Amino acid sequence: MVSPAAARRIRRDRAPGRTRPPMLLAAPALIGFGFLVLPLLALLVRAPWRGLGRLLSDSQVLTALRLSLECASAATAASLVLGVPLAWVLARVRFPGLALVRALVTLPLVLPPVVGGVALLMALGRNGIVGRYLDEWFGVTLPFTTAGVIVAETFVAMPFLVVTVEGALRSSDLGLEEAAATLGASRITVFGRVTLPLIGPSVLAGAVLCWARALGEFGATITFAGNYPGTTRTLTLQVYNTLETDPQAAIALGLVLLLVAVLVLAALRDRWLRAGSAP
Give yes or no for a contact between 209 and 164, defined as CB atoms under 8 angstroms apart.
yes
Minimum distance from residue 243 beta carbon to another protein (Å): 7
Task: Give dist(CA 272, CA 192) in Å, integer.
Answer: 20
Task: Give dist(CA 116, CA 4) in Å, integer.
Answer: 39
User: With CB under 8 A as the contact rule, which of the stretches 21-29, 37-45, 154-162, 174-182 interacts with another protein?
Assistant: 174-182
Nearer to another protein, 104 or 112 (CB): 112
Nearer to another protein, 140 or 198 (CB): 198
Give yes or no for a contact between 210 and 157, defined as CB atoms under 8 angstroms apart.
yes
9 binds another protein (CB under 8 A): no
**Residue list 92-121, contact with another protein (CB under 8 A):** 121
Minimum distance from residue 46 beta carbon to another protein (Å): 12
Give yes or no for a contact between 208 and 148, defined as CB atoms under 8 angstroms apart.
no
The residue from 83, 113, 143, 219 that contacts another protein (CB under 8 A) is 143
The residue from 62, 178, 271, 276 that contacts another protein (CB under 8 A) is 178
The residue from 113, 241, 252, 255 that contacts another protein (CB under 8 A) is 241
The residue from 189, 248, 260, 265 that contacts another protein (CB under 8 A) is 189
Nearer to another protein, 26 or 174 (CB): 174
Task: Give dist(CA 224, CA 120) in Å, integer.
Answer: 6
59 binds another protein (CB under 8 A): no
Minimum distance from residue 50 beta carbon to another protein (Å): 22
249 binds another protein (CB under 8 A): no
64 binds another protein (CB under 8 A): no
Minimum distance from residue 103 beta carbon to another protein (Å): 26
Nearer to another protein, 76 or 241 (CB): 241
184 binds another protein (CB under 8 A): yes
133 binds another protein (CB under 8 A): no
Binding site for another protein (CB under 8 A): 1, 3, 6, 121, 125-127, 141, 143-144, 173, 175-176, 178-187, 189, 193-194, 197-198, 222, 225-229, 231-233, 240-241, 243-245, 247, 279
